[in-house]
């Protein structure tokens, strides 16, 4: 669910329906485009306006020890779109492989980034890529002093963005790539094809939203559907995973409305067809 949809959940259903009837589509799109930016600005202002609460939260973060602790902190402090059992399973899976350099494509409100940063104790370098990095100052505030943290704003597939990622890595390879940006088939596929070259052999590439949502499964009308919007990531994952010998899925219920995490152990020797 997008940040905008989370905000709209706070609006009573009859009022949402009335606005859809009353306002032209172009006006509604313009208004919805402003909501995430304004909501992020307000959240950031409140964070920095209360130094006592800010210090209390950082002290609370320092007391966190387990992935469960970090999940609870990220949920309360930044929010995210993860199901608890799924992300905890993935974090334990990744933790055992001791990733040092990680990259997340699509940060939403930063909760997943915080969990990846803190629940994986060996992480030294974090790269986050999104069209707009929300809660950036909070993520920087919570980062460990020993960690190098870089946020890049732009489309994941743009050449400029890819060049920036390459420059930040400086020839090093990623141990973990978490893909959660463009959820169209073409967009998710392009992210995999572009960013896999940054991942070392034996590194992890993970996809969020590998479970088909109810919108596409049952054919709901997109204009009125309030559930998950996982796009076509499920289809890419279904086609991609047979090419890799080691894959693992973290899913609570395969009948659920979206979410789910799929992870593969990457090998540059695997040949991916151009028409995947």
Both tokens assigned to 197: 């070259």
Clarify whether residues 75 and 44 are in a common domain: no
Q: State pLDDT tens for residues 229-245.
A: 889 999 999 999 999 99
Clarify whether residues 139 and 73 are in a common domain: yes
Q: Which residue has the tokens 């990457």?
A: 266
Q: What is the dihedral of CA 8, 130, 48, 142, to 10 degrees?
A: 120
Residue 94 CB contacts under 8 Å (≥ 6 apart), including other chains: 116, 120, 176, 204, 206, 263
- pLDDT above 80 for 152: yes
User: Residue 70 and residue 94: Cα distance in Å, rounded?
Assistant: 15
Percentage of the chain surpassing pLDDT 70? 86
Clarify whether residues 73 and 159 are in a common domain: yes
Three-state SS for 18-41 is HHHHHCCHHHHHHHHHHHHHHHHH
Clarify whether residues 42 and 92 are in a common domain: no
Clarify whether residues 148 and 237 are in a common domain: yes
User: Residue 202 and residue 125: Cα distance in Å, rounded?
Assistant: 18
- pLDDT above 90 for 226: no
Q: Give residue 14's pLDDT.
A: 58
Q: Give residue 13's pLDDT.
A: 57
Q: State pLDDT tens for residues 160-217.
A: 999 999 999 999 999 999 999 999 999 999 999 999 999 999 999 999 999 999 988 9
- pLDDT above 90 for 46: no
Examine residue 149 and state whether it is found in any structural domain, yes or no. yes
Q: Give residue 73's pLDDT.
A: 96
User: Residue 9 and residue 7: Cα distance in Å, rounded?
Assistant: 5
Clarify whether residues 84 and 168 are in a common domain: yes
Of 118, 177, 106, 175, the residue nearest 142 (C-alpha) = 118
pTM score, whole prediction: 0.85
User: Residue 159 and residue 154: Cα distance in Å, rounded?
Assistant: 10
**Helix, strand or coil, per DSSP, at residue 94:** helix
Clarify whether residues 108 and 176 are in a common domain: yes
Sheet hosting strand 199-208, strand order edge to edge: 148-153, 125-130, 101-105, 174-179, 199-208, 261-265, 247-250
Residue 220's pLDDT band, with cuts at 50, 70 and 90, is confident
**Average confidence (pLDDT) over 29-42:** 52
Both tokens assigned to 57: 């939260």
Q: List the domain range (segments joined by +) for residue 37.
A: 1-49
Clarify whether residues 45 and 87 are in a common domain: no
Q: State pLDDT tens for residues 63-102.
A: 999 999 999 999 999 889 999 999 999 999 999 999 999 9
Q: Give residue 8's pLDDT.
A: 45
Clarify whether residues 30 and 119 are in a common domain: no
Examine residue 84 and state whether it is found in any structural domain, yes or no. yes
- pLDDT: which is higher, 144 or 220: 144
- pLDDT above 60 for 23: no
Q: Give residue 32's pLDDT.
A: 43
**Total domain count, the chain:** 2
Distances in whole angstroms, Cα of residue 76 to Cα of each of 9, 89, 166, 171, 203? 18, 20, 33, 36, 30
Bridge partner list, 103: 127, 177
Q: Give residue 4's pLDDT.
A: 44
Taking all residues of the chain, what is their mean pLDDT, rounded to a whole number? 88
């Amino acid at each position: 669910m997008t940040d905008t949809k989370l905000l709209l959940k706070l609006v009573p259903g009859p009022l949402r329906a009335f606005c859809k009837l009353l306002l032209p589509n172009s006006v509604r799109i313009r208004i919805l485009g402003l909501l995430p930016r304004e909501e992020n600005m307000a959240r950031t202002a409140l964070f920095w306006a209360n130094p006592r609460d800010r210090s209390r939260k950082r002290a609370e973060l320092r007391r966190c020890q387990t992935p469960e602790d970090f999940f609870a902190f990220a949920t309360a402090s930044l929010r995210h779109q993860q199901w608890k059992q799924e992300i905890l399973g993935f974090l334990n899976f990744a933790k055992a492989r001791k990733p040092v350099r990680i990259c997340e494509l699509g940060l939403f409100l930063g909760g997943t980034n915080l969990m990846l940063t803190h629940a994986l104790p060996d992480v030294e370098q974090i790269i986050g890529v999104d069209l707009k990095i929300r809660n950036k100052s909070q993520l920087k505030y919570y980062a460990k002093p020993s960690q190098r943290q870089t946020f890049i704003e732009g489309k994941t597939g743009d050449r400029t963005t890819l060049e920036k990622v390459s420059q930040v890595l400086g020839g090093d390879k990623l141990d973990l790539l978490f893909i959660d940006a463009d959820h169209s088939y073409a967009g998710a596929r392009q992210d995999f094809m572009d960013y896999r070259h940054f991942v070392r052999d034996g590194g992890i590439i993970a996809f969020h939203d590998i479970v088909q949502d109810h919108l596409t499964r049952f054919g709901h009308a997109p204009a009125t559907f309030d559930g998950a919007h996982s796009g076509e990531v499920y289809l890419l994952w279904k086609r991609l995973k047979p090419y890799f010998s080691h894959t693992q899925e973290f899913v609570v219920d395969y009948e659920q409305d979206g979410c789910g995490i799929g992870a593969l152990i990457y090998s540059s020797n695997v040949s991916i067809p151009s028409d995947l």
